[in-house]
Structure 1
Amino acid sequence: MQHPFLYGFLTVILLLLLALCYFVYRWRESEQSKKSVEAKFQALEMKINNLQLETLESKLNPHLFKNILNSIQSHAYQTYFALDKLANVLDYILYESQKKFVSPKEEIEFALNLIEINKIKVSPLFELKVKTKINEGETLYEQRLLAPLISIDLIENAFKHADLQNADAFISVVFEFKENCFYLTVSNKISDKKALLKERSGIGAATLEQRLKIIYKDQFKLDKFIENDIYIAHLKIDLREYKNQMHLA
């Protein structure tokens, strides 16, 4: 009398095991499908980010080149010196900036040449202070982890909004590289004169933060504020954290 009961019990156990195997199979299939969808989404997101960067940078380079030529044209008597600096800047724009990343050393050298070109627009009495505080022993100083042309907007914005012919005005640019972090601080006394609105002006201002967010996500900090009629912009990019994130990605 026990055999039919035992047979029924074993049948129920077998059915439960089969049901469990089926659900495990479906669960694994669902997880694989989910991972496949996530991978496709990440690939699509990367393509969109790269497309955005290409679009932003394609607007940026011609805009910078036009500003440089306007500066040189307005002060022909300093053309020889300016052209020497322009040659360095053009080499950087045409060759280095086409790469995805440059080293902090290369970007700072480019920015210093750009400042020298802008100097021809200022009065001899105008105070232009440029400082570099570089710890060249830092391991990432010459590694290609910095987005090219990332310093343009803050520097050009200072020259645009300062009264370059006023002896009481000033521009201060400070580059720092310490603890594998890139720092750029630009400050200028705000001019009482309104900046001339030019066609397609402000492209750099509109794209800088977009580029930073796309490339560095939460590994950067950009602060802009006004204090006693002085406009201050401070950028910090943590290249060590960014490099660690690249290895984890």
Structure 2
Amino acid sequence: MESQTLLIIALIGLLAVVGWLAFRLRESEKKKNAIAEKFYNLEMKVGDLQLETLESRLNPHLFKNILNSIQSHAYQTYFALDKLANVLDYILYESQKKLVSPKEEIEFALNLIEINKIKVSPLFELKVKTKINENEPLYDQSLLAPLISIDLIENAFKHADLQSADAFISIVFEYRDNTFSLTVSNKISDKKALKKENSGIGSTTLEQRLKIIYKDDFKLERFTENDIFTAHLKINLLGYKTEVFAAG
């Protein structure tokens, strides 16, 4: 009789635990669905924006890439959301300015890289370096076009071979002698990236913006050597400031 009582108590306890776990699972699903719905609504709103300038044409593509990255690894959602908040602030507010400081653009790019990192395995070799002299007078001055680093970084994550044992992405930011430099290298994947309608806007826009804003004060190189693609952007901010001052 006593053993039957203990068995009943054990069954009741087991049912209580199962019920609690089911409740927690439902709550977790509700939170997950709520986050997904917010992202979906955000993506829909971005898609409806009227894009009138070269800079604004970049934003929907950037949003889409960020959202895809976050959705592909739900377990890192909270970390990605923190980085996404910083990126969204920059896109919605700072990118509306004609120019930002090198410090602001580099901080934005580093947040963007953190979001893209959730696409790759922890074993994947992603090297990010900064060689910055923060004491130079132009480092905090608004002389750099906002979102200027997006295309080179996004292109590396899009075309890199993420599965090969010797695959890698290398990103180096430099700021010295009043010159902003960004060098991005990656091992090219054997799999061709899926071409989508309206793809390639970022590369075209980058070239146009650089020519319009910096004229002869920039240098953009892209080349492939031994299955390694490298893009190097260099902008002479002192030369640009001197020309703007002379023109004014």
- Which TM class, normalised by the smaller chain length? 0.7 to 0.9
Please give the alpha-carbon distance, in whole angstroms, between the structure 1 residues aligned to 2:106 and 2:162.
23
Gaps of 5+ in 1: 1-52
Give 2:118's aligned residue.
Answer: 120
> Equivalent of 2:136, from 125, 135, 138?
138
The residue correspondences of 1:1-80 to structure 2 (distance < 5 A) are 55-80=53-78
Distance apart, 1:96 and its partner CA? 0.3
Give 1:9's aligned residue.
Answer: none
Q: The residue matched to 1:231 in structure 2 has which SS?
A: strand
The answer on whether the counterparts of 1:104 and 1:141 sit within 8 Å (CA) in structure 2 is: yes
Q: The residue matched to 1:124 in structure 2 has which SS?
A: coil
| 1:53-80 Cα deviation digits (max 9, x unpaired) | 9521121111111111111111111100
Bigger Cα Rg: 1
| 1:164-190 Cα deviation digits (max 9, x unpaired) | 233320000000000000000000001
Please give the alpha-carbon distance, in whole angstroms, between the structure 1 residues aligned to 2:163 and 2:122.
8
Calculate the TM-score normalised by the size of structure 1.
0.77
Please give the alpha-carbon distance, in whole angstroms, between the structure 1 residues aligned to 2:200 and 2:162.
19
When residues 162 and 119 of structure 1 are mapped into structure 2, their CA distance, relative to the original with a 3 A threshold, is: same
Distance apart, 1:205 and its partner CA? 1.0
Give 1:40's aligned residue.
Answer: none
Q: The residue matched to 2:84 in structure 1 has which SS?
A: helix
Distance apart, 1:163 and its partner CA? 1.7
Give 1:229's aligned residue.
Answer: 227
Please give the alpha-carbon distance, in whole angstroms, between the structure 2 residues aligned to 1:91 and 1:125.
31
Please give the alpha-carbon distance, in whole angstroms, between the structure 2 residues aligned to 1:56 and 1:103.
19
The answer on whether the counterparts of 1:151 and 1:184 sit within 8 Å (CA) in structure 2 is: yes
Please give the alpha-carbon distance, in whole angstroms, between the structure 2 residues aligned to 1:222 and 1:245.
20
Q: The residue matched to 2:53 in structure 1 has which SS?
A: helix
> Equivalent of 2:244, from 204, 225, 246?
246
When residues 123 and 166 of structure 1 are mapped into structure 2, their CA distance, relative to the original with a 3 A threshold, is: farther
Distance apart, 1:227 and its partner CA? 1.1
| 1:68-114 Cα deviation digits (max 9, x unpaired) | 11111111111000000000000000000000000000000000000
Corresponding letter in the other structure for 1:78? Q
Please give the alpha-carbon distance, in whole angstroms, between the structure 1 residues aligned to 2:180 and 2:53.
25
Please give the alpha-carbon distance, in whole angstroms, between the structure 2 residues aligned to 1:224 and 1:184.
12
The residue correspondences of 1:139-178 to structure 2 (distance < 5 A) are 139-178=137-176
RMSD over aligned Cα atoms? 1.2
Please give the alpha-carbon distance, in whole angstroms, between the structure 1 residues aligned to 2:114 and 2:197.
25
The answer on whether the counterparts of 1:102 and 1:148 sit within 8 Å (CA) in structure 2 is: yes
Q: The residue matched to 1:149 in structure 2 has which SS?
A: coil
Please give the alpha-carbon distance, in whole angstroms, between the structure 2 residues aligned to 1:125 and 1:215.
40
Aligned-residue identity in percent: 84
| 1:121-154 Cα deviation digits (max 9, x unpaired) | 0012110000000001111000000000000000
The answer on whether the counterparts of 1:123 and 1:166 sit within 8 Å (CA) in structure 2 is: no
Any runs of at least 4 consecutive aligned residues in structure 1 with deviations exceeding 4 A, and if so which?
A: none
> Equivalent of 2:216, from 215, 218, 231?
218
When residues 54 and 139 of structure 1 are mapped into structure 2, their CA distance, relative to the original with a 3 A threshold, is: farther
Corresponding letter in the other structure for 2:90? Y
Please give the alpha-carbon distance, in whole angstroms, between the structure 1 residues aligned to 2:195 and 2:201.
12
* Paired positions, count: 197
